[in-house]
Structure 1
Amino acid sequence: MTEPLIELRGVSKSFGSNKVLDRVDLTIHQGEALGIIGPSGTGKSTILRVIAGLLAVDEGEIYVRGVRRTGLIEDAADSVGIGMVFQQAALFDSLTVEENVGFLLYQNSKIARSRIRQLVNTKLEMVGLPGIGELYPSELSGGMRKRVSFARAIMSNPESDQQGPELLLYDEPTAGLDPIASTVIEDLIRHLQCSQGVCSTYAIVTHQDSTIRRTADRVIFLYQGRVQWQGTVDEIDSTDHPLIRQFMSGSVHGPIQVVG
């Protein structure tokens, strides 16, 4: 097995008295599509923020290509570029689509605006949204806003030695979408993985059955702050693990405690 892009060793994180992650071990390898599933409030989004370097851990170690990370993303540049797609798209309402997608370059480069506009148009075409750069987020559907956030996540600085992210993190990318819009997003996630010059590795947090099955190859199941099960997508249907059986069936009866 090759060295992981990302490795979490014994990572713990608490918010007040609530221990969200409890000595979690996790690896993400080059070219992998990792699904992170489990009941609400079990630390799935927290793991993404830890991997992205947006959140400090209380205990444990994080390794990026075998090198231990110290501090957060702003403290030192990782050897692996990481892009993140947030659950609610997290676009700036006062900026146009072009300004949202090109935000990194407009703020942190000396590239001419005309060149940035070309780069933005290329990314928008990749997510199936050509010619919408002058629109504002309020003029887009939910599915379109998600795709714009994808374009922003894969944007790279051509003046940098690092050509785009090597790892994409998706936090509930199909949440709140109808089944057809969800299928469009699921197809896009796989399309970006296979596209030349775009990130081939990702981790995705989701509750949606179709998204789990259509976007993930390997799955880990989080519950009570720990990885309780992991396996391939095909093994979801064959395992007798009681947590998986209850979660995938949506039953209120079983070892998963139903709040309220």
Structure 2
Amino acid sequence: MSEPLIELKGISKAFGEQIVLDSVDLTIYRGEALAIVGPSGTGKSTILRIMAGLLAPDEGEVWVQGHRRQGLIEDAEDPIGIGMVFQQAALFDSLTVDENVGFLLYEHSNLSHAEIQKLVSQRLEMVGLTGIGDRYPAQLSGGMRKRVSFARAIMSNPANPKDTPAVLLYDEPTAGLDPIASTVIEDLVRQLQHSQGVCGTYVMVTHQDSTIRRTADRVIMLYRGKVQWEGSIDEIDTTDNLLIRQFFSGKVEGPIQVAG
């Protein structure tokens, strides 16, 4: 078994009276590609934010490479870097692509402007966006903005190797994109997994069937606050689990209750 990088133990989270996560156990192993699926409102994005240290659970423990996290990521540094790609790209509209991708280095490193620009150019080249560093987010298509957010997430500081993400968390990276743009993003996710100098471990939250099948090796399904199923991509089409069968068939009838 590969090394556990992130372990969630008995994680619970509620917003008001709505229980979103209910004693969830989940382990992310080095080198794996995991997809978290389930109906809307079942805590998929919430669990990513807890992994990233952006949100604290109400109960349970988060362990990162064998160390228990205390508080949020701002309270104590994790032993490994964890990068996150947000659903809406979350770029700064007033900054250029160069400034967005290199933001953390510009703000929190002693590297020269020329050194940071070189690193930014390398990352933009990796995501297929050479030569757009002087553009602003409003000048980019939706797919290009997503790729810029990828470049920012995989940015590393050569002066501090611990800043290099060991795990990437993707929150609906193909949401709102047409099928062709989605394929570009799906291919990029896999390419980055196997790129030298980029982390090879990621967790993907998505609803899209093609994204699940083209980017994941292991799948877990969240429903009613709990992990209801876990298996490989191949097992999706052979399992007798009624939740999985309904989710991937898109049928209204079944154990998943459809909000009216």
The TM-score, its normalising length taken from structure 2, stands at: 0.99
Q: Would you say 1:81 and 2:81 are equivalent positions?
A: yes
Whether 1:165 aligns to 2:165 is: yes
Match of 2:252 in 1: 252
**Structure 2: distance between partners of 1:179 and 1:229:** 27
CA distance in 2, matches of 1:113, 1:24: 44
Percent of paired sites with the same residue:
73
Letter in 2 for 1:79: P
* Stretches of structure 2 lacking an aligned partner (at least 5 in a row): none
Q: Is the 8 A contact 1:80 1:166 kept in 2?
A: yes
1:3 Cα deviation from its structure 2 partner: 3.6
Would you say the 8 A contact 2:80–2:163 is kept in 1? no
Partner of 2:28: 28
Give 1:184's aligned amino acid.
V
Deviations 1:141-191 (A, max 9, x none): 000000000000000111113251000000000000000000000000000
- State the distance in 2 between where 1:2 and 1:216 align: 16
Does the aligned pair in 2 maintain the 1:82–1:169 contact within 8 Å? Answer: yes
Report the 3-state secondary structure (helix = DSSP H, G, I; strand = E; otherwise coil) of the residue aligned with 1:162. Answer: helix
Instruction: Provide the residue aligned with 1:70 in structure 2.
Output: 70
CA distance in 2, matches of 1:161, 1:70: 22
Structure 1 segment 7-156 matched on structure 2, within 5 A: 7-156=7-156
Structure 2 CA distance for aligned equivalents of residues 163 and 90 of structure 1: 20
Distance 2:93 2:236 in 1: 40
User: Contact 1:3–1:66 (CA<8 Å) still a contact in 2?
Assistant: no
What are the equivalent positions in structure 2 for 1:168-183 lying under 5 Å apart? 168-183=168-183
Q: Specify the code of the residue in structure 1 equivalent to 2:250.
A: G
The SS at the match of 2:4 is: coil
Q: What are the ranges of 5 or more consecutive residues in structure 1 without an aligned counterpart?
A: none
* Counterpart Cα distance in 2 of 1:211 and 1:74: 31
Looking at structure 1, the residues matched to 259 and 33 of structure 2 have their Cα atoms a distance apart, in angstroms, of 30
Instruction: Give the conservation status (yes or no) of the 8 Å contact 2:35–2:218.
Output: yes
Q: Residue 223 of structure 1 aligns with which residue? A: 223
- 8 Å contact from structure 1 (residues 172, 205) kept in 2: yes
1:2 deviates by 3.7
* SS in structure 2 at match of 1:213: helix
Aligned to 1:190: 190
Distance 1:78 1:138 in 2: 34
CA contact (8 A) 1:8 1:27 kept: yes
In the alignment, is the contact (CA less than 8 A) between 1:34 and 1:216 conserved in 2?
yes
Q: Aligned equivalents of 2:12 and 2:123: distance in 1? A: 36
* Per-residue CA distance 1:179-220 (angstroms, 9 max, x = gap): 000000000000000001101000000000000000000000
Cα distance between partner residues in 1 of 2:40 and 2:94: 31
Deviations 1:205-246 (A, max 9, x none): 000000000000000000011000000000000001000000
Cα distance in 2 for residues equivalent to 1:8 and 1:235: 24
Does 90-99 or 2-11 show the bigger shift?
Answer: 2-11
- SS of the residue 1:122 aligns to: helix
- 2:218 is aligned with 1:202: no
Aligned equivalents of 2:22, 2:163: Cα separation in 1: 34
The amino acid across from 2:110 in the alignment is: K
Q: How many residues align?
A: 260
The Cα shift of 1:80 comes to 1.4
- The secondary structure found in structure 2 opposite 1:166 is strand
Q: Does the Cα contact within 8 Å between 2:42 and 2:222 map onto a contact in 1?
A: yes
Distance 2:205 2:178 in 1: 18
Residue aligning to 1:235: 235
